[in-house]
Structure 1
């Protein structure tokens, strides 16, 4: 089964969701610069900082609240009929038009009889989308030629729209879901859950002794890292790639999509982003992130933990006015949990 996390999954991402790929079109409409190792974005200028501090993931925040469906919303989604067997591309999706909802309306048509979905699992699903206004399929379906099933980590708060609807279901389940799109129109989704894969939550392998003088990393009982940066740490001019744990999995390539846990720190010990703070790993294609990630993870093995120290030239660029993290050296601790060719 070939999985991917692509633009199609963005329909289910919250407005504050992790930005997994670069904004190559120069869009500066509010992408959170502290939200990922993405390639390009815009933001406020930043002042230089002095090295020295302790960096650790922030405590997980409460998941975002999703608008509850009204009685009318629920009646509308229960009026959607799908012709065709679960696990196969729908033949017809029919309902009284126009269908409009204010909250997230869900109707489970088949709970499935395969593996039960568990928080932390990598869940893969097919998505057939039609417009609520006229019932027409104008959006690409994962069933279409050249498309592929979508995957996300169950429990990732960036995809809270899917977490509750999928809870308690099994592989083989089919459900319909109606929600407002970014443009305010209602979309109706037919979702078929096709796989649920258990992934490790932290790197495991052989401990590697790091070179002297680098920021040090200590791990909590759950594997979450704490990074200590010495006051006299020299800001490197080139990318530093230091394996801390060597896994025994396949080697990662620049063409892969990786699933990781990570912590991002500034030289003063400030944590600016962490998957640990979201209580779930995240996935992205290495072709769409900052050079430090693309180059630093290339050739590393699945199961490994890698310390990256990225000067500004290998991160968000040297111009502080071009990005909130522009002009800054960034430190990452990355646990590589899985990798597969990106779609």
Structure 2
């Protein structure tokens, strides 16, 4: 599950292994995130209350606390209430965050230092309930403190983490811009009231031999550049049967990844770099720019991707650059 962009922040909030960043696997993890079976104790709450925060909202705060920081369950509290728009309980938030090691009080990750905001999907069921609950009814500009206990795993011990998370905006859930009339002969796209797309493959459709990139909505935001972290909604089908093989709409939250660097299939990298935020883009991707040609024999089939040989059709909404 790719949710907050920085791997350490993702591990601290999701406690799940990182996925491959491929669209069709974007909501799968190699292990289930552990459930928060016990609410924070009075001692946990007191430990987080004892954390002091210095710095104005909008700037990287300095957190001070006694080390080692020890709690038994995840715990969160609102440090500063925001004055911006109130966001819904399932919002995709743009956040700045700084993470401290509870073991020695060092900063292990900071979006202020990295120069890029992260993404926090409140609708994601793997996010700790502690942080979901404390975000309820909050507004843009809120600053929340969150702490997770030390974790034992096969990879070793992750120390307790203490975080300050500032909500800087709400990421749209769908493309917003000027509609574009596509040429005839392409797969058809219809949108539900909430923006969820349906893709229809025309009868007798012939798969293209080259990548097809067709904007359906042109957004007015910045153009996507290679190397940027971008948040998308997407819906994908195969031309062979028109069946949906993956969809962020169905998975419950948008997908955030680095674009133009090989983190996703070549058709995405080539087709989405240069498009603008707010746009919706139809991609028809030949196997060579997706998951390769169909395997030639049984031995090759054992290692081939499940979608090898398939031409893929995506409808991609470009929501935000972070």
Gaps of 5+ in 1: 23-32, 43-62
- For residues 99 and 250 of structure 2, the distance between their equivalents in structure 1, rounded to whole angstroms, comes to 32
What does residue 298 of structure 2 align with? none
Shift of 1:293: 0.8
Shift of 1:91: 4.2
Show the counterpart of 1:97.
Answer: 68
The residue that corresponds to 1:59 in the other structure is none
Q: Which residue of 1 aligns with 2:115?
A: 148
Greater relative contact order structure (CA < 8 Å, 6+ sep): 1
Superposed displacement of residue 130, structure 1: 1.2
**Given the two structures, how large is their TM-score scaled by the length of structure 2?**
0.75
> How far did 1:94 drift?
1.8
CA contact (8 A) 1:247 1:303 kept: yes
| CA drift at 1:239 | 1.4
> By how many angstroms is 1:292 displaced?
0.5
Aligned CA RMSD, in angstroms, stands at 3.6
Which whole-Å CA distance do the structure 1 matches of 2:110 and 2:321 have between them? 24
Deviations 1:309-335 (A, max 9, x none): 112210123365243333332211112
Aligned length: 298
Residue from 195, 209, 214 that aligns with 1:223? 195
1:262 is paired with a residue of what secondary structure?
A: strand
1:293 aligns with 2:268: yes
Match of 2:246 among 243, 248, 273: 273
Say if 1:251 and 1:148 are closer, same or farther in 2 by CA, change over 3 A. Answer: closer
Counterpart of 1:238 in structure 2 is 210
Q: Structure 2 vs 1, CA of residues 16 and 201 (structure 1 numbering), >3 Å: closer, same or farther?
A: farther
Partner residue of 2:108? 139
- Corresponding residue for residue 259 of structure 1: 231
Match of 2:308 in 1: 326
Runs of 5+ consecutive residues of structure 2 not aligned to the other structure: 296-300
Query: Helix, strand or coil for the counterpart of 2:108?
Result: coil
1:9 equivalent in structure 2:
9
Displacement, 1:65?
A: 5.3
**CA-to-aligned-CA distance 1:17-40 (integer Å, 9 cap, x gap):** 884746xxxxxxxxxx83249xxx
**SS of the residue 2:91 aligns to:** coil
Q: Does 1:178 align with 2:148?
A: yes
TM-score (norm 1): 0.71
SS at 2:216's partner residue?
strand
